[in-house]
Structure 1
Amino acid sequence: MRQIRRRLAFAVTVVLLVLTGGCGPGTPEQITLTLATFGQFGYEDLIPGYEFTHPGLTIRQVKTEQGGPYHEDLLAKLRSGQGLADVQAVEEGHLADVLAQSAKFADLAEIGPRDVKPGRWLEWKYEAGRSKDGKLVGYGTDIGPLAMCYRKDLLEAAGLPTDAGSVKTMFATWDSYFRTGEKYVERAKGKAWFDSAAQNFNAMVNQLPVGYLDREDHPTLETNGPLQAAWNQVTTAVRQGQSAGLTAFADDGNNGLRLGSFATKVCPSWMLGVIEEQSGPGNAGKWAITDAFPDGGGNWGGSYLTVPAASEHPAEAAALAAWLTAPEQQLHAFRVSGNFPSQVDAFTSPDLLSEMNGYFGGALSGQVFVAQARKVGKPQYKGPGDGKIQEQVIAPALKAVEGGADPGAVWQQVLTGVRRIAG
């Protein structure tokens, strides 16, 4: 039924495209715009409609399967100034490196369509696309608002409640979450509370007003009390046996999902598909999701569309990026790829609010993530190298703690590693 609804929705979208036309400036004849994306953005069905309403315009989408190689290539092209597309997608984890080179991108607030206002997006999403000098480098596409996923059967087996009210209480704060985890591992006979210390720690750090770097791009770890407290909470939980010590998205993490090796998982909107695929049909209905996340809201994931300054057709490229990030198009992308929209008007869409996930016991997942997205506060500043700090320093450090290393000694290694990357 869900696929039928999506096909009907796409048919309506195409008809509307033909009837309403485009929203950008007049397009000169025989212009080709390149659109570079990675993974699944859900734009393939939309491009023919835009071309139809813009005679003389051809859009060539260049897709890269994996985000890592895509962003390595993007940064190399920014260094050389050669080979950039007219519209370049950027994932939020790599956005800091792009914002640090804002001079190489057009200011979309200046060259974009006049009717595209900041209020189109959630405030935190819009603000995160601006550089330190105030330039709007990216139009927001999707987001990854955070909820918590959990195995009802595992909680029940450990004598813990699974009703909605009790679950929200358990997941209200990180203190209550880890306290419940301590009870769980005492009762669950070898099963862990969560999959990976790095997964939880990254979510905790991203909730803080200040992360690894301040706005002058100096490391904060030696003076950032809340970040140090998060490290202590996570590593204490590891030493209590709460972490399964797995690597998310690797073979061991996927096997852990299938085997039920842990009971809870930090769960951005896009994680539902990962859990369903890796846990397999045998675990359908065992997983649940709640619109509670420790200490409020958070975000993990999402992207932006940017227009490099090197584009020969910046106004037309900005018009295309603006159209692709309008609520109607982002709802279509959600229907075909599951990418959760960041546009305020999309949050009242019946399509989004009625989205039901059978694998998670019929949860109204659209409503869950709308509620979670609205809880996110101001965007945390992320300086250049923030992604490297998470991937090259924090993740291996927490893996070492999961392997039995002393958290205090590892913390000193973290300080050294962060100084090496950030200076």
Structure 2
Amino acid sequence: MTTAAAACLVTVACGGDAADANGKTQISISTFGEFGYEELYAEYERLHSDIDIVPHTTGQGGPYHQALFTKLGAGSGLDDVVAIEEAHLPEALDKSSRFHDLREVGPAEVSPGRWLDWKYQSAVDKEGRLIGYGTDTGPLAMCYRKDLFEKAGLPSEPDEVGELFATWDSYFDAGDTFVANSDGVAWFDSAAQIFNAMQNQLDVGYFDRQDRLTIESNAEIRRNWDTVTDAVNRGQSAGLVAFSNEWNSGFKQSAFATKTCPSWMLGVIEEQAGDELAGEWAVTSAFPGGPRNWGGSYLAVPTQSEHAEEAAAFAAWLTAPEQQIKAFKAAGAFPSQVEALESPELLSATNDYFGGAKIGELFAEQAKTIGEAQYKGPGDGKIQENALAPALQAVEQGASADEGWQQFVASAKQIAS
């Protein structure tokens, strides 16, 4: 392998030639993490003998999106199909003219009714252009350690914990009881993870629909800040940075007892907690404040692509209900398509690690009850990652709640400007 070819494999995208040595059209696609698409690429090639799929995969979503938007601004270097994670979709919508309108270049039979309404509408720009086909979703549930609950004198079966997780007030009250009886184990992993779940439940998020920053004007954001930082000061947080090495180890070391659980988090817990804790983790549909979505992605076709219609057809096929069920079975990517959410294959899915929980049925019901998606303005994902999380971490490390708030506001303003 040449140096240039090796470099190509670790970048977000290297673009595709018009045709390979066999005269086939090459369609390149860039993704991050695990989409469950590997076998689907080969299947698509079998079904379309004139197409070669050229995949490029990056491990971490942060570096992936940074490189994606750099290439988007440069006007070159992007693949024919690019994945965009929900948190970074607002930035893509802000640059929507650089993506094809999939209503124009995509297959005519692909209608909005394929997806849950909130999933479809999230990828529509202010001019009504559709820039992304929805892939997976992240309907929220709550995961918790049954054995640690029992030791602290709390109810532990999924059908018994509803009262504990009925509201955020009841959740944090239960946290006080747990901390008082848990011998040093924290109630939750990270203040930022809790705050993000609460933030996504607000009618208005970090931006209003005129893209004005609302952090200082929206009293609910400050109220959530005060609630979470009060819980931190009462010893409920393990103070771990999500997806850090310490956070990963925290699962195995039983550092915390509850975890906000979008559907994709189950695989993370199983991987990090290990076989010895199988059956000790449980999942329940009860979630404080009601279900919302956290995570999921879209497939877009940049205007840079020389094969827009072929790329859109490929993206449409990958996001069809049949393929979404296959991706769910391969990687746990929970579908966003109405037909897929009613599939017996999905609804019958269980998870032995979580005590045989009926995860297909549980998360399908959560997904169906999610209302209108919260509007996300440009920079929303960056505020979450680069302003909110460091500010809450500062509080977890000893800064006062007011000091952390001022850091949060200042960083958010800098990002929004």
TM-score normalized by structure 2? 0.92
Equivalent residues of 2:146, 2:157 under 8 A apart: no
Distance 1:155 1:31 in 2: 56
AA at the equivalent of 1:126: Y
**What residue is the counterpart of 1:175 in the other structure?**
169
Deviations 1:129-180 (A, max 9, x none): 1112221010000111110000111111111112334311111111111111
AA at the equivalent of 1:114: A
Equivalent residues of 2:32, 2:57 under 8 A apart: yes
Distance 1:342 1:66 in 2: 22
Equivalent residues of 2:240, 2:246 under 8 A apart: yes
AA at the equivalent of 2:388: I
How many residue pairs were aligned? 395
Runs (4+) of structure 1 exceeding 4 A deviation are none
Equivalent residues of 1:217, 1:422 under 8 A apart: no
**What residue is the counterpart of 1:150 in the other structure?**
144
Deviation at 1:318, TM superposition (A): 1.0
Deviation at 1:111, TM superposition (A): 1.9
Deviation at 1:71, TM superposition (A): 1.3
AA at the equivalent of 1:360: F
Give yes or no for the alignment of 1:50 onto 2:73: no
Give yes or no for the alignment of 1:34 onto 2:24: no
Equivalent residues of 1:173, 1:295 under 8 A apart: yes
* Alignment counterpart, residue 318 of structure 1, candidates 312, 318, 322: 312
AA at the equivalent of 2:340: A
AA at the equivalent of 1:46: L
Equivalent residues of 1:292, 1:372 under 8 A apart: no
**What residue is the counterpart of 1:67 in the other structure?**
61
**What residue is the counterpart of 2:271 in the other structure?**
277
**What residue is the counterpart of 1:405 in the other structure?**
399
AA at the equivalent of 2:237: S
**What residue is the counterpart of 1:255 in the other structure?**
249
**What residue is the counterpart of 1:86 in the other structure?**
80
Deviations 1:181-212 (A, max 9, x none): 11111222322111110000011101111111
Equivalent residues of 2:158, 2:283 under 8 A apart: no
Distance 1:310 1:362 in 2: 46
**1:407-422 to 2 correspondences below 5 Å:** 407-422=401-416
**What residue is the counterpart of 2:285 in the other structure?**
291
AA at the equivalent of 1:306: A
AA at the equivalent of 1:206: N
Distance 1:258 1:50 in 2: 39
Structure 2: tracts of 5 or more residues without a match = 1-22
Distance 1:233 1:297 in 2: 19
Distance 2:331 2:282 in 1: 21
Deviation at 1:263, TM superposition (A): 1.0
Distance 2:52 2:246 in 1: 44
Distance 2:140 2:224 in 1: 17
Distance 2:31 2:404 in 1: 37
**What residue is the counterpart of 1:307 in the other structure?**
301
Aligned residues: percent identity? 57
Distance 1:277 1:55 in 2: 37
User: Which SS does the other structure have where 2:299 is aligned?
Assistant: strand
User: Which SS does the other structure have where 1:393 is aligned?
Assistant: helix
Give yes or no for the alignment of 1:102 onto 2:96: yes
Distance 1:413 1:46 in 2: 45
Distance 1:288 1:328 in 2: 29
| Alpha carbons of structure 1 residues 163 and 47: separation in structure 2 relative to 1, 3 Å | closer
Deviation at 1:57, TM superposition (A): 2.1
Distance 1:38 1:400 in 2: 29
User: Which SS does the other structure have where 1:168 is aligned?
Assistant: coil
Deviations 1:288-347 (A, max 9, x none): 000111111111111100011121221111111111100001111111111111111111
Distance 1:31 1:98 in 2: 27
Deviation at 1:375, TM superposition (A): 2.3
Give yes or no for the alignment of 1:267 onto 2:261: yes
Distance 2:157 2:269 in 1: 21
Equivalent residues of 2:29, 2:53 under 8 A apart: yes
* Alignment counterpart, residue 369 of structure 2, candidates 353, 367, 375: 375
Deviation at 1:51, TM superposition (A): 2.4
**1:291-370 to 2 correspondences below 5 Å:** 291-370=285-364
* Alignment counterpart, residue 238 of structure 1, candidates 216, 225, 232: 232
Equivalent residues of 2:144, 2:283 under 8 A apart: yes
Equivalent residues of 1:40, 1:337 under 8 A apart: yes
| Alpha carbons of structure 1 residues 55 and 282: separation in structure 2 relative to 1, 3 Å | closer
Distance 1:386 1:282 in 2: 38
Give yes or no for the alignment of 1:194 onto 2:157: no
* Alignment counterpart, residue 159 of structure 1, candidates 150, 153, 160: 153
TM-score normalized by structure 1? 0.91
**What residue is the counterpart of 2:10 in the other structure?**
none
**What residue is the counterpart of 2:15 in the other structure?**
none
